[in-house]
Structure 1
Amino acid sequence: MAFYHPLLFAIDAERAHRLTIRLISAWSGGTAPLGGVVRDPRLETRVAGISFPNPIGLAAGVDKDGEAIDGFFALGFGSVEIGTLTPLPQPGNPKPRLFRLTEDRAVINRMGFNNGGIEAALPRIDRSGRAGVLAINVGANKDATDRIADYATGVRLAAKVADYVTINISSPNTPGLRDLQRGDALNELLAGADEARGLTPLFLKVAPDLELADIDAIAAAAIAHRIDALIVSNTTISRPALQSRHAGESGGLSGAPLKGLARQRLADFRAATGGTLPLISVGGIDGAEEAYARIRAGASLVQLYTALVYEGPGLARRVARGLATLLERDGFADVAAAVGSG
């Protein structure tokens, strides 16, 4: 599949992304053997009562509408999180809205929750083989008059079919959305989502652009409202030193420049929760060594996105196998034994 890399980089980033989804969807239909979910007893782990065949997950935003679920599992991922899905379809923000920062091994996006709506995705989910853990990430429509009600609707529908549901209030590309991470709005949102999810585990995805007081408040609210895990974190609106000509584009930055901030936020939420909530680390993970470092820093699971653009579709398999080697090298029987050991 490395053959496709230069071809994809020769075209617009969003068109390349759409082509990639179509290719992976086609491969999942049996036109090419991809290998399947990586399975190794050392990599099996349990989070929120869910058994993960390995701790390497596909982050939300890659396969928004669940078009290539089986294909991504076939690439080796232990979990696939589709979405963000909203109650109603919406086109997202005007194009262009996705930019490769090749010199920085990064991406800036301002997609704006473009998706076909959660009800359109449900039949595709039903048809998927679900070789690993399948999650649905839900959000509110941009023009919703009651965003908290939108989240309750999304959680209720997703909980019927997902292994876990993620509430995404951390995207920087829907105006005002991140305000739901604070105060009474956060407590009202989490209370409504808790009621809507039934018995399905509920995860919360947070932004990296938070003050320490915000982190403490989010951690307390998550524990109070029975959130099962925190995903730390989404893209950043901050701008470290960047080399690409696209560095000035607005939107969320992801990839290698996010690595330091993602590590710091993982440590911050580990401290704020006292280790009582499982944490999933996202941001700048580009290989087995970095995934292992996040696990030793307190992450129970990790997720990949932007590094796939630069490392190719074999990344999940390489990370999983490399992680198994690192666990064995350091004498850990499994992933759980290594969590927080650093």
Structure 2
Amino acid sequence: MLDPLKLRVLRSVVETGSIRASAEALGYTPSAVSQHLTNLRRETGLELIERSGRGITVTAHARLIAAEAGPALDALRALERTVKDLRSGRTGTLRLGYATSIAATWIPELAQDVRRTYPDLGLELALRDCSCEDLAEAGMDIVVGEGTGPIESVDWEIHEILEEGYVALVSAGHPLAARSTIHLKDLAEESWVTDDPIDSFWFDRIGAACRAAGFSPCVDVNPNDFPTVLGFVATGDYVSVQPSVIAQNMRPDIVAIPLAPPAPRRRLRVQVRRTIARNPAAQHIVQRIHAVAAKRAAEIPGVTHLLETETRPRAQVRSTSPEPAQI
């Protein structure tokens, strides 16, 4: 059996592309990282890295092994957390998955509140660039994000919490920055930057609205994180279209301008596994998310708090979903 520690080191090297950077991230010395890689090469009989000048090149074999090892290492880490919870006397763990658009503005305060209110509860947080349905399949107990599937569900109690529009992000010195609203067609000649995958349903929603306005957006830069998007927008050479909520607390050199109708809109929801839906901690999380949604709706133009939660009766169909952690 391959050593999980060596696989973790390999995955870090694949991610960073550097032995020194991996050593700093893992808290090891570069020589220790190199030794782990050497031992793993002996165990597998495969070349994992190649020297390239003063640096290294990760081989295709190494990338494949790291990718295949990822789910196993994540499962092992989850098991280690369960053992830690049992040893510390915690009563259980809730797995909360959430979308990127609310990562910075919602989740930190929510996590702090839950941990203070339920100190004996283990709270496992997972940020994912995916829909509620994808998060659900990843084994989460509670999911906060954009739902693309139907409201009715056998296995989930679903609460729709917020509906929002989109905003155009431009630099403070951009010719459009003084506008109170903006039409998508005004961005037709601009260079775009977005962190959404171009083939994702998130960007396709925006792209469809642009096509309806008579153009296709010219995406020149497609980083995988929002701070980088802001960096490009701040130069004045690029614009971006983002959900209203993510534009909260924008940096001072960037202006968020609401898109005028017709413009795309989206809904955020909370999904709770029915097996834990009556648990006090789960109910507390839903209530707190509604409170945050109401606050954001009062602060951000074009955002509506959905007061009536959409909770559907359980259908008489046998569930096939994995069992969540019991609390």
Structure with bigger gyration radius: 2
> Could you tell me the TM-score, scaled by structure 1's length?
0.24
Higher strand residue share: 2
> Could you tell me the TM-score, scaled by structure 2's length?
0.25
